[in-house]
């Protein structure tokens, strides 16, 4: 039952199936349309392989409900796909999830091969952050792999498919002999029959990151239990990620760092000797906001003086040209309607045209003079990326602390690049904060930061490096510009 659905079918009276996004051992995921809310969603049909008894059917429906409950506890995390609802249709449980416009890391590796270290570092930080939150909520993912790491088109990295996730208080719904997970990513202790634990998620992440940066898995593909019997191949392309990968691929669970300690290793903390063991063997501290690396130099991008003259002069000239032009029209109309023609021998219409033209030309000239004066003797537009945040000077001077931001990325239009920041929701709703930050902010909390007409593409590399160094997980890419 429930296995013959096809594109165009309406599920649960409101979700129209569009296309399949992927199929796994525990379900099939569809791109669908929520007709009630008029938004795209992802629908996961949860199923067990082979024939099932009525009791097994009841259990898998219970599993689907439990998955939704688990994922709902993590719905506010920026690196975890949101689960909205769960329901039964035609004998199968279905999960309604956030639709992510993008593709999986598995697709990325199939199309482009091994990825740059900077990109893999950001993926590692995002997934470790997601696993850290899940493990602190006593939830184990149990199927971390490239297919379950989504790379959104806006640069965000999200962990999805908690479909076989389990909390310690759950009644076990799978057979005792059944090893849950994808071949090649299952931890050695799971192959030996041990209960799933958070350390197994870290091992699977180690395999995933190794494959991403090296272009091949750390163990032979043809041997499904290679993780139990073989040592991982020494990484060749991993660079600074090498030590983290090998620590995650330790055979024994106690030898691996947990998610919090792995994030410390990822950031290159100089005092990592013994730190990982301490985090593993002691009680977890209260959750803190994501830390950010402080290594690397600040980067300041300043606009060219003559480019600033052109930008500001054109802006002021356009404004005054329109203002004085319409003022000229108004003068001509008022004079004509009152019976007074200000220009001897000319009608009202011609008078309006003359006054409009004079105002426009005069306004444009005055605008260029005012704009040039400001640009020649005023402060240039600049952007500084530092450990404290983003500092902007020029026409709109401002300072955005990292703690005020939810996300930072780069946008591109032609040969110019813009820094796009998304402000945390609590700051957007804070009237006092918005009063102190005069830049234009939209309803989603997005602000576009220009340097003159934009950051020259030739300077974007320094900005990206500084953002990677100082913004940490807030920076969602890109790692390079085409």
CATH of the domain at 53: 3.30.200.20
Question: Which single residue is written with the structure tokens 């199927």?
Answer: 143
pLDDT at residue 225 in the model: 76
Q: What's the total number of domains in the chain?
A: 4
Whether residue 248 is found in the same domain as residue 311: no
Are residues 263 and 197 part of one domain? yes
| Residue 385 shares a structural domain with residue 372 | no
Domain that holds residue 88: 10-98
Answering whether pTM is above 0.75, one says no
CATH label of the domain that carries residue 404: 2.30.29
Highest mean pLDDT among 34-38, 338-342, 367-371, 375-379: 34-38
The position carrying tokens 């009630």 is: 36
Residues 134, 268 within the same domain: yes
Question: Do 264 and 408 reside in the same domain of the chain?
Answer: no
Beta bridge partners, 89, equal 92
187 and 134 within one domain: yes
Would you say residue 393 lies in a domain?
yes
pLDDT > 70? residue 303:
no
Q: 73 falls in which pLDDT band (50, 70, 90)? A: confident
Q: What are phi and psi of 3, to 5 degrees?
A: -100, 0
Quick one: 419 and 370 in the same domain? no
Mean pLDDT of 9-33: 85
User: Which of 34, 132, 143, 404 does the annotation list as catalytic?
Assistant: 143
Read off the pLDDT of residues 376-388 as tens digits, 9 standing for 90 and up. Answer: 665 567 778 888 7
* First vs last C-alpha separation in the chain: 47
Query: Do residues 355 and 470 share a domain?
Result: no
Residues 19 and 73 placed together within one structural domain of the fold: yes
CA distance 35 to 39: 7
pLDDT attached to residue 276: 39
Any domain includes 5: no
Residue 140: what are its φ and ψ, rounded to 5°? -105, 130
- Does a structural domain hold residue 291? no
Domain end residue (candidates: 344, 377, 410) = 377
Last residue of a domain, one of 266, 281, 296: 281
324-347 pLDDT, tens per residue? 778 777 776 776 666 555 555 556
Of the candidates 130, 118, 199, 89, which has an alpha carbon nearest to the alpha carbon of residue 476?
118
- Is the alpha carbon torsion for 111, 113, 115, 116 positive or negative? negative
With cut-offs at 50, 70 and 90, classify the pLDDT of residue 258: very high
Instruction: Say whether 76 is catalytic.
Output: no
Most confident of 88-97, 102-111, 183-192, 333-342: 102-111
Q: Which two tokens stand for residue 35?
A: 């007709």
Residue 48 resides in a domain: yes
Residue 109: half-sphere exposure toward Cβ, Cα within 13 Å: 21
State the CATH number of the domain containing residue 258.
Answer: 1.10.510.10
Query: Do 158 and 248 share a domain, yes or no?
Result: yes
Q: Where are the beta strands (DSSP E) in 293-397?
A: 299-302, 382-385, 389-393
Same domain (yes/no): 399, 366? no
- Same domain (yes/no): 310, 407: no
Distances (CA, A) of 327 to 321, 324, 335, 353, 357: 10, 5, 12, 11, 10
On the question of pLDDT at 203 being above 70, the answer is yes
| Any domain includes 1 | no
Pure H helices in 53-174: 54-72, 105-112, 117-136
Q: Where are the alpha helices (DSSP H) in 144-256?
A: 188-191, 198-214, 226-229, 242-248
Query: Which of these three, 54, 74, 98, is where a domain ends?
Result: 98
């Amino acid at each position: 039952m429930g296995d013959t659905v096809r594109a165009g079918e309406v599920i649960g009276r409101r979700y129209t199936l569009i296309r399949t996004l992927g199929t796994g051992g525990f379900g099939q995921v569809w791109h669908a349309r929520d007709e009630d809310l008029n938004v795209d969603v992802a629908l996961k049909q949860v199923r067990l392989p082979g024939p099932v008894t009525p009791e097994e059917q009841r259990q898998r429906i219970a599993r689907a409900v439990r998955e939704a409950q688990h994922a709902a506890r993590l719905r506010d995390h920026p690196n975890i796909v949101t689960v909205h609802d769960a329901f039964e249709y035609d004998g199968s449980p279905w999960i309604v999830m956030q639709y992510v416009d993008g593709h999986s890391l598995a697709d990325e590796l199939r199309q482009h091969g091994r990825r740059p270290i900077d990109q893999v570092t950001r993926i590692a930080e995002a997934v470790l952050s997601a696993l850290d939150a899940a493990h602190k909520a006593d939830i184990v993912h149990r199927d971390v792999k490239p297919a379950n790491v989504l790379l959104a088109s806006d640069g965000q990295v999200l962990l999805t498919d908690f479909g076989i996730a389990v909390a310690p208080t759950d009644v076990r719904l799978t057979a005792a002999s059944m090893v849950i997970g994808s071949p090649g990513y299952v931890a050695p202790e799971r192959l030996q029959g041990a209960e799933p634990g958070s350390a197994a998620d870290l091992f699977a992440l180690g395999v995933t990151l190794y494959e991403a940066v090296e272009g091949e898995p750390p163990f032979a593909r043809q041997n499904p239990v290679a993780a139990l019997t073989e040592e991982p191949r020494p990484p060749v392309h991993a660079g600074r990620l090498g030590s983290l990968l090998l620590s995650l691929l330790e055979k024994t669970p106690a030898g691996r760092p947990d998610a919090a300690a792995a994030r410390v290793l990822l950031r290159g903390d100089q005092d990592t000797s013994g730190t990982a063991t301490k985090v593993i063997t002691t009680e977890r501290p209260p959750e803190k906001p994501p830390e950010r690396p402080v290594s690397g130099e600040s980067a300041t991008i300043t606009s060219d003086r003559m480019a600033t003259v052109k930008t500001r002069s054109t802006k002021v000239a356009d404004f005054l040209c329109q203002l004085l032009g319409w003022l000229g029209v108004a003068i001509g109309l008022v004079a004509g309607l009152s019976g007074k023609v200000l220009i001897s021998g000319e009608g009202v219409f011609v008078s309006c045209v003359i006054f409009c033209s004079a105002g426009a030309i005069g306004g444009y000239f005055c605008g260029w003079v005012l704009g040039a004066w400001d640009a020649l003797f005023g402060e240039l537009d600049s952007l500084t990326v530092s450990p404290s945040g983003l500092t902007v000077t020029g026409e709109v001077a401002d300072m955005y602390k990292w703690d005020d931001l939810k996300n930072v990325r780069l946008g591109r239009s032609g040969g110019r690049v813009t820094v796009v920041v998304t402000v945390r929701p609590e700051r957007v709703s804070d009237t006092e904060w918005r009063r102190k930050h005069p830049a234009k902010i939209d309803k989603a909390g997005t602000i576009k930061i220009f340097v003159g007409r934009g950051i020259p593409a030739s300077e974007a590399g320094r900005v990206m490096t500084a953002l990677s160094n100082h913004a940490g997980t807030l920076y969602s890419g890109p790692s390079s510009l085409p």
